[in-house]
Amino acid sequence: MSMTEHAAGHLPPPRLIRILRMVGLLRESPVAMIGAGLIVFWIAVAIFAPLLAPFDPNVNLQPFAKPGTPYAAGSGVFWLGTDHLGRDILSRIIWGSQTVLFYGFVATASAYAVGVAMGLAAGYYRGWIDELLSRLGDIILSFPILVLYVVIIATIGASGINIVLAVTFASAPAIMRIVRSLVLEIRERDYVAAAKMRGENAWYIMLVEILPNVRGPLIVDACLRMGYVTITIGVLGFLGLGLPPPDPDWGGMINEARSMALAFPHMTVLPCIAISSLVLGLNLLADGLREISLRD
């Protein structure tokens, strides 16, 4: 075996190299590191929910137990208390992180898939395609976004898939605007002209030549937008338009306990803290990434 082959055999895999580079980049910004830490914390909680949750989140155990109360009928402690139905709040927050992260990520990714495609087409083709997509986006964005969410969910029903559809419909036009403005600048670059001269088709140019060169602003916006989506899921749950019970949902937990907030504040405050910490992590990560990009 040659020295080159021997050395290549001991090189870390490309995915690990990319992760290490990303961590090294984030270390340039303490704000980004704090935000990433909060996000990683909640991702770990969601992944290991079956191991971390002390009780089944939907089982009625001991109603209105205060934080730190031992379980009278068995072993264990209600570290964050229980709700009016006797369900352990800590377990529901832990399992609820899966719901929020899954639907938040899927809804944001879906909105970006639609918005990026619309923005690429509008910015690259211009003409009547740009005019049509821009006017369609203006019509959707003219509605107050929360009212639009409520109308859509109230019309098609409350479910995880419908929340994804509502977020995609309401958020894609704003993403399209961002992508369109970036594409209008990039489409005149020399490497785009070179790709045209090679005879590449339009979507190859958009996806391979243009899109990778606008990913920086889009990554920052995606972090912020997922924070907005997290709040949206919480607000819809609070309004009774979120995921159907009894599966835990942070917004739904606040909605169920709002009439008892003064007597049992832990039932509403703790889910609010969970939502706020995740949104804070996403916002801090976005601010840190923006700070790093400005340095470069």
Average pLDDT of the chain?
A: 87
Domains assigned to the chain: 26-295 (1.10.3720.10)
Nearest CA to 32 out of 276, 294, 295, 290 is that of 290
pLDDT in the model for residue 159: 85
Answer whether residue 2 shows pLDDT above 70.
no
**What does the pLDDT read at residue 3?**
45
Give the mean model confidence (pLDDT) for residues 109-114: 95
pLDDT of amino acid 131: 94
CA distance 57 to 271: 14
- 162 CB neighbour count, 10 Å cutoff: 17
Q: What is the pLDDT of residue 10?
A: 53
What pLDDT is recorded for position 263? Answer: 86
- Higher pLDDT, residue 239 or 96: 96
Strand-strand pairing, 77-78 and 69-70: antiparallel
Residue type, 274: A
Among residues 92, 229, 88, the alpha carbon closest in space to that of 160 is found at 229
The model's confidence at residue 290, banded by pLDDT at 50, 70 and 90, is confident
CA separation for the pair 203, 125 (Å, rounded)? 10
* Helices 266-295 and 215-238: angle between axes, nearest 10 degrees: 170
Query: Residue 37: pLDDT above 90?
Result: yes
Distances (CA, A) of 277 to 34, 37, 104, 121: 11, 11, 15, 37
**% the chain with pLDDT above 70:** 90
What's the confidence (pLDDT) of residue 241?
Answer: 85
Q: Is the pLDDT score of 293 beyond 80?
A: no
- Give CA–CA dist 176/197, Å, rounded: 27
pLDDT by residue (tens digit) across 138-173? 999 998 888 888 888 888 888 889 889 999 999 999
Is the N-terminal amide bond of 246 cis, ω within 30° of 0?
Answer: yes
Q: Which of 249, 225, 242 is nearest to 111 (CA)?
A: 225
What distance in Å separates the CA atoms of residue 87 and residue 49, rounded to the nearest whole number?
16
Res 134 pLDDT > 60: yes
* Residue 236: pLDDT over 70: yes
Give me 97's structure tokens.
């992180």
Of 125, 138, 137, the C-alpha closest to 210 is 125
Question: pTM here?
Answer: 0.86
Q: In terms of residues, how long is the chain?
A: 296
Q: What count of Cα atoms within 13 Å lies in the side-chain half-sphere of residue 108?
A: 23
pLDDT of residue 4: 47
Per the CB < 8 A criterion, the answer to whether 289 and 220 are in contact is yes
Residue 69, SS3? strand
Please give the average per-residue pLDDT across 82-88, as a whole number.
92
DSSP3 helix / strand / coil % (the chain, rounded to 5) = 75, 0, 25
Cα–Cα distance, 79 to 83 (Å, whole number): 12
Quick one: 166 exposed, middle or buried, by C-beta within 10 A (0-12, 13-18, 19+)? buried
